[in-house]
């Protein structure tokens, strides 16, 4: 399965070979209480146990290692991130012995900023708008000749994130569907490419905060967003970006299901609480959205033949001093 961006399943397999010595093959958790609550069999892919605390380690490391192969004399890497991708790139650059600069909006959680610094990266704070991030990154690129590794709209990042689906379908080959939280779409598009190649009839459902307008996008085949990127009003800081990427969106249009699960803050909190209390899993708000989708009326009313559902717990990086509940 290849999407119009040129990312293929072979790219995903090469990414897995490249990064597997350095990342965790994250476990699958199950819960009888969750199954009863959902009315289906749920299989939770625990990327909250991944290096750097989220799935982002996969795409960041693949992009860094591939960059070093292509450009052995690269000066360093730079990115912009609300937190998880920044942590992941800082970790990946540290492994590759490369300088790293991460541009982070001032309102990003301190726990994520501290983690980025903890991996040895330089942290630059910027203003609240997505355009502020881009301007700061451009300056670092110009001044230092660093390679930009963006959070999602990058073929090597997408291929790295697709390795989640390869692992998941090795661990649970009989899955009928996967619920995937989304920001810019790097993980969801990578999972689409890999999962639909391995099992063409599997359904990939996207999970987002309210106001994303992604279902409109997938049903019309057109980007509904105008002007510069905006942030959604949601507690899920890792998936606040409204627009998906210019590389990722066509992949989602082609391969993802048209039904998009948009979850409220209250539903996200309930998903987090269930994970904490019943499964003893610490997850961040974006992962709470996936749990909420699994328990939603919308999924309950879907085809009963979707009996086995994978749920991506995308990360566990949250500020325990400022929980949303």
The Cβ-side half-sphere exposure at 284, using a 13 Å CA radius, reads: 26
Q: Which of 31, 82, 290, 296 is catalytic?
A: 82
Q: Is 43 in contact with 308 (CB distance < 8 Å)?
A: yes
Q: Is 78 in contact with 138 (CB distance < 8 Å)?
A: no
Token pair of 63, please?
Answer: 């992009």
Please write down the HEC assignment for all residues of the chain. CECCCCCEHHHHHHHHHHHCCCCCCCCEECCHHHHHHHCCEEEEEEHHHCHHHECHHHHHHHHHHHHHHHCCCCCCEEEECCCHHHHHHHHHHHHCCCCEEEEEECCCCHHHHHHHHHCCCEEEEECCCHHHHHHHHHHHHHHHCCEECCCCCCHHHHHHHHHHHHHHHHHCCCCCEEEEECCCCHHHHHHHHHHHHHCCCCEEEEEEECCCCHHHHHHHCCCCCCCCCCECCCCCHHHCECCCCCCHHHHHHHHCCCCEEEECHHHHHHHHHHHHHHHCCCCCHHHHHHHHHHCCHHHHCCCCCCCEEEEEECECCCCCCCCCC
Distance, in Å, from the CA atom of 261 to the CA atom of 84, rounded to the nearest integer, reads: 22
Whether residue 20 lies in the annotated active site: no
Whether residue 199 lies in the annotated active site: no
Q: Which of 51, 52, 54, 56 is catalytic?
A: 56
**What is the set of active-site residues?**
56, 82
């Amino acid at each position: 399965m290849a999407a119009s961006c040129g990312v293929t399943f072979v790219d995903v397999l090469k990414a897995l070979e490249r990064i597997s010595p350095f990342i965790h093959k994250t476990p699958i958790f199950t819960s009888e209480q969750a199954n009863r609550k959902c009315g289906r069999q749920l299989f939770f892919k625990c990327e909250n146990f991944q290096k750097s605390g989220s799935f982002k380690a996969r795409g960041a490391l693949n992009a860094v290692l591939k960059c070093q192969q292509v450009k052995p004399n690269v000066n360093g890497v730079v990115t912009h991130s609300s937190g998880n991708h920044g942590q992941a790139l800082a970790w990946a650059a540290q492994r590759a012995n490369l300088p790293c600069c991460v541009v982070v909006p001032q309102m990003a959680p301190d726990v994520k900023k501290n983690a980025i610094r903890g991996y040895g990266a330089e942290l630059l704070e910027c203003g609240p708008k997505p355009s502020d991030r881009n301007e700061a990154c451009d300056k670092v690129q110009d001044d230092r000749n660093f390679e930009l590794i963006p959070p999602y709209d990058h073929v090597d990042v997408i291929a790295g994130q697709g390795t989640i689906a390869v692992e998941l379908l090795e661990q649970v080959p009989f899955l009928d569907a996967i619920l995937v939280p989304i920001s810019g779409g790097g993980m969801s598009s990578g999972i689409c490419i890999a999962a639909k190649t391995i099992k063409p009839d599997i359904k990939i459902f996207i999970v987002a905060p309210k106001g994303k307008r992604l279902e409109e996008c997938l049903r019309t085949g057109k980007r509904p967003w105008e002007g510069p990127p905006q942030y959604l009003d949601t507690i899920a800081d890792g998936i606040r970006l409204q627009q998906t990427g210019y590389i990722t969106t066509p992949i989602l249009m082609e391969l993802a299901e048209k039904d998009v699960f948009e979850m409220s803050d209250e539903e996200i909190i309930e998903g987090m609480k269930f994970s904490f209390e019943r499964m003893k899993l610490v997850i961040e708000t974006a992962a709470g959205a996936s749990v909420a989708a699994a328990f939603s009326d919308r999924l309950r009313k879907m085809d009963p033949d979707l009996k086995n559902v994978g749920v991506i717990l995308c990360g566990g990086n949250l500020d325990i001093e400022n929980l949303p509940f």
